[in-house]
Copies of this chain bind each other. A is one copy, B any other.
Amino acid sequence: MNSLHFTAESASDGVVERDFTVDGIPGVLWSPASGAAGRAPLVLMGHGGGADKRHRAMLGRAHRLVTGCGFHAAVIDAPGHGDRPRSAQDEQDVAELRRAQAAGESERPVVVRYNARLAETAVPEYRAALDALQELPEIGADGPVGYVGLGLGSAIGVPLVAAEPRITAAVFGMMWPDALFEAADRITVPVEFVMHWDNERIPREDSLALFGAFASREKSLHANAGRHLTMPMFEVDSSVRFFARHLAPAGTSPARA
């Protein structure tokens, strides 16, 4: 039995939002206000580097998943992010990142190493959070589960999805592939992969190579003109439809999102 504790609850626009902790790790669960009617699929989300569980990208995706599909959406703070303390190693990695940025050097070696270290801690945390969330009657132990995370959310999510058979569909993107090839090669569930064609930080060839590495029989690459930080809203909508296709229980037809 995991220690899931709800610490706050609010509701608006048909969405119930609950803060929780699992083994002390803080997170947020968004659910349909009409959820008492039965179980619904769950999409786990991972926030980006330097962001946290309440970043507007998380709020936006969660509301679309809840109101568009009737799904649950949940996110936890990554180690050293949001409401979690930074370790001495976190401080050191962040300082090294800031130094590289200030010096005009590539962030790549720092981010790859830093995020791979965070993923080692975060993957078991996500699995424990999933254990706990599946004990809720409105989610259940055998319901469909998806994962979406870009940037740091992919650095954590790729090894997570490779290790976690309960996750049956995933959206990734916007991360250097260096530390992820081996895990990507073990992923066989449907994947939607987002990249920027003109990304000035992550070379196009590296994103194409990571997409190529997924062993999934069903995978889709979405490459949009633009640079690293511009994510078109229609890609958020596309990922919601992706989860609607892959997680909606057979015979149901979620609202088109």
Contact = CB atoms under 8 A, between A and B. Distances in A.
A224 B222 CA distance: 9
A220 B223 contact: yes
For chain A, give the interface size range. 20 to 34
Interface string A232-249: 101000100100010000
Interface SS majority for chain A: mixed
Contacts of A220: 222-225, 232
A211 interface: yes
A210 to B, nearest CB: 13
A218 interface: yes
A208 interface: yes
Nearest to A237: B241
Contact of A224 (B219, B223, B241): B219
A220 B212 CA distance: 18
17 contacts: A197-B211, A197-B212, A197-B219, A197-B221, A208-B208, A216-B225, A217-B225, A219-B224, A219-B225, A220-B224, A220-B232, A221-B221, A221-B223, A221-B224, A222-B222, A223-B223, A256-B256
